[in-house]
Amino acid sequence: MPPWNPRECREAAHSRVAGPKSGSADENKQVFLDSLQTIHFGDIIIYSDGSKQLNGLGSAGFIGCQGGVQVLHKSIALGKGVEVFDAEVKGALEGAKSTLALPTAKFATDLWICLDNLEVATRLSSQSSGSSQAQFDEFLTLTPKWQERSRLAHTRRGQMRVGCVPSHTSIIGNEATDKAAKDDCHLPTSDDLVFSYAGLKHWANESTTQATGKLWRTLLP
């Protein structure tokens, strides 16, 4: 993001994220479930998630629901070049892009992207810099595309809205997408290993620690 462009304050971006942001797990779960009741029956809800296994392999996934029916499901293997933060962004981005191509999108007014990482949710709705910036920037271009989609006459242009789901509270959509994010982490990815900023920083720190340990073992047998 060019330094001469004014940055939106974090509080403004944070305020646009729907869903609970504080409180106990049970309270947050109830607030989120109550908010689901206010979403129009024909609107589409994407639950997305990211994961990184102990072996360093990252993955993302999402499911989409409309009218009480699951209409989308995808798992994405990301290899060893990303952190959980980047995988969360990838899941949200790919979920939104897949929804734009969904035939039943014409019945919806709003598209909801729900994930359990508040930091990612906040940055999805505002220009920012840092790891996965290209993916965040691409996500921002999808709102006008959603509003320009082919739709039925009784629907409105609508919005792409971002919501925060309380994690580890047995919310069905979130639990299902957590599984989707982990299902295909072992699958092969591109031969060209692409690091995110956060992934490269982690790799550099880890490599430095290993090299330092090897040096000391050599000097002090």
Which stretches in the chain have pLDDT values below 70?
Answer: 1-6, 184-204, 206-207, 210-212, 215, 221
pLDDT at 3: 62
The span from the CA of 162 to the CA of 142, in Å, is 12
Domain boundaries, the chain: 10-219
List pLDDT tens digits, range 159-217. 999 999 987 777 888 888 888 877 766 665 555 556 665 655 666 676 677 666 776 77
List pLDDT tens digits, range 198-208. 655 666 676 67
pLDDT at 4: 60
pLDDT at 192: 54
Half-sphere exposure of 23 (CA within 13 A, CB side): 15
pLDDT at 185: 64
Query: For domain 10-219, which CATH number applies: 3.65.10.10, 3.30.420.40, 3.30.420.10, 3.40.50.720?
Result: 3.30.420.10
Strands 111-115 and 44-52: parallel
* CA dihedral angle for residue 200, residue 194, residue 185, residue 54, rounded to 10 degrees: -20
